[in-house]
Structure 1
């Protein structure tokens, strides 16, 4: 078979031209290597100046989750005293505490942003599958400052929210005490009225017995005696009953004594010194070992690349203008 020799010369010429152009560019760059080196040096100096003078950024990280049952035990106990049989379960209390902690943390983060603070406090769920685990980070000017400031912020939010929760609890206790006092007073008044009514019945029976000149009991069997037949007991027995009943305590129900017991318990927990916490640590704020920025090695490498590119561009443009004149 014969080869097509018509297209070969043109293709060869283009290849040779491209090779010549590439060689020409390399020669131009080699000839301008001093200028390129100057550009590289300038960019490296500028990059190094930034890399070694820019403010460093270090991130400390902590992982937190729901408070332990022991951290909310004082609150749980108080709620069981205030609302026996109807107090919330421990997990609901833990979840409520942690949700309030997250709200407080978000508020502090927003406050720092509004103040245009140079360092950021951020938080996010550790994973979508477990939203009750929170990853919190703080960016500081150095490793120790980042760690200590994150500890301080977490403690600040925890103390503030715990104080608010305790204040709300005191309000609930005061309300419960007021409610119990009202119930106790109502039951005492009702018992007093019952006692007065009973004395009135006994006195009326005594009047009838005296008018009937009945001094001793006329009843053989005391079972089934009613208010209408009390006078049959005789004036002697009725006088003794009235005297004893006047000095007897109020006829109070079991509900009354339960209310008094609950009142004493509520007054007792109001005086308690509660230690509450709204979260627990999975990982305490760490001491970062690598800074976030500046990345000095990357900056220097980019400086060399940028300097070389600028220098090469300058050399090639200068040669192009020279040829066009």
Structure 2
């Protein structure tokens, strides 16, 4: 049985098909609607671009310092090196490595980055920044007392995001970081980042000096304890030598041995082989020794006294000038804002308006056809 070409199925199929020419005609007929929607969206986009807060970014790139950046600091640290060396009786010297970390460029740089990313340091610097103080003052006036603490915390968190440090090439031998400061104008952005970099540099320097001072003071305490122990040992040994010499003198006199004798051993508890005359002189010498001469009994006291004397001369100079990082790119005032991108926003507004206008016209056309 053949199908009727005028059947309802064929008519439905034709109704579902949309002629491209009809769409173009429909769009042309709705051109004023498309233009109106495009103008409206463009106006909204331009208004947003003009009213949105501007964002200006100041950048700096820093890396590990070179030796020339902290020469004075390195020289000061090296002056304390003899305190940590071990001097043996055979004349050899075992160099200590406890101070090596203080003059390692990587450690100085890591200390700076750690201080830069510290929220406590950011809060301390931001609290003194004029623009933040103005915002906090405005917030305090507009916010209820019971809600002010949470609002202030939120404000601080927003400002924390304005100071960031991102690693550039951590896998490279020469590690570097990009430091960024965000503000609503070029001048404020530059002041924020540059001021914070200098603030953290001072913090990092003070911490490096404080750590060195702590180690030196610890060494001073260690040497003082060693000296006290050796002095007690020397006193005990001196007293013991005095008693032994006196008893040996009594024995030598009783034995009638006044001159040195070769056939008498010197390994006895009370050795009399040197004779009574020599023992009597020995007793006088031992009795005349003072506390300042204990190094004769304990030679190690000489080295400890020398190190303590060096500590009396050397001091950690808090005014020493050095850098814990080196600039690859120093901060400069930005020439253009980071956002909003007003031309781009306007173009997107035109495109969105045109697409939305066309959609409205086509939807109206589809409902009219049905």
TM-aligned CA deviation for residue 198 of structure 1: 2.6
Alignment of 1:87-166 (within 5 A): 87-88=97-98, 89=100, 93-108=104-119, 115-117=156-158, 119-130=161-172, 132-166=175-209
Inter-partner Cα distance in structure 1 for 2:80 and 2:105:
13
Q: CA deviation at 1:185?
A: 1.5
The answer on 1:175 being equivalent to 2:218 is: yes
User: For residues 215-234 of structure 1, what are the structure 2 equivalents within 5 Å?
Assistant: 217-219=258-260, 228-229=271-272, 232-234=275-277
* Residues 82 and 148 of structure 1: CA distance in aligned 2, closer, same or farther (over 3 Å): farther
CA–CA separation in structure 2 for the residues paired with 1:225 and 1:128:
70
Counterpart-to-counterpart distance in 1, 2:186 and 2:178: 18
1:77 aligns with 2:78: yes
List aligned pairs for 1:1-325, cutoff 5 A.
21-69=19-67, 70-71=69-70, 72-73=73-74, 76-77=77-78, 80-84=81-85, 85-88=95-98, 89=100, 93-108=104-119, 115-117=156-158, 119-130=161-172, 132-208=175-251, 211=254, 217-219=258-260, 228-229=271-272, 232-234=275-277, 238-248=279-289, 249-250=293-294, 251-273=296-318, 274-275=320-321, 277-324=323-370
Cα gap change, 1:315 to 1:79, in 2 (>3 Å): farther
For residues 260-308 of structure 1, give each alpha carbon's deviation from its aligned partner in whole angstroms, at most 9, with x where no partner exists. Answer: 2222334544553255643222222232223221111111111111122
Preserved CA contact (<8 Å) 1:43 1:306: yes
Aligned length: 303
Aligned to 1:3: none
Distance 2:102 2:367 in 1: 78
Distance in 2, Cα, partners of 1:122 & 1:203: 78
Q: Is the 8 A contact 2:205 2:323 kept in 1?
A: yes
Q: Distance in 2 between matches of 1:74 and 1:53?
A: 56
TM-score by length of 2: 0.68
How far 1:229 moved relative to its partner? 2.4
Structure 1 pair 254–202 and aligned structure 2 pair: CA distance change class (3 A)? closer
- The match for 1:10 is none
Query: Unaligned stretches of 5+ in structure 2?
Result: 1-13, 86-94, 124-152
Contact 1:158 1:277 in 2 (8 A): yes
After the TM superposition, which of the residue ranges 40-49 and 129-138 deviates more from structure 2?
129-138
Q: Secondary structure at the match of 1:37?
A: helix
Distance in 1, matches of 2:279 and 2:43, equals 115
Alpha-carbon distance, 1:81 to partner: 4.3
Query: How many angstroms does 1:45 deviate by?
Result: 1.6
What's the offset of the Cα at 1:122? 2.9
Bigger shift: 299-308 or 23-32?
23-32
CA RMSD of aligned residues (A): 3.6
Distance 2:120 2:189 in 1: 15
Q: State the structure with more CA Rg.
A: 1
- C-alpha change, 1:61 and 1:313, in structure 2 (3 Å) is same
Q: Structure 1 segments of 4 or more deviating over 6 A?
A: 109-114, 223-226
Name the TM-score, length of structure 1 as normaliser: 0.76
Q: Secondary structure at the match of 1:127?
A: coil
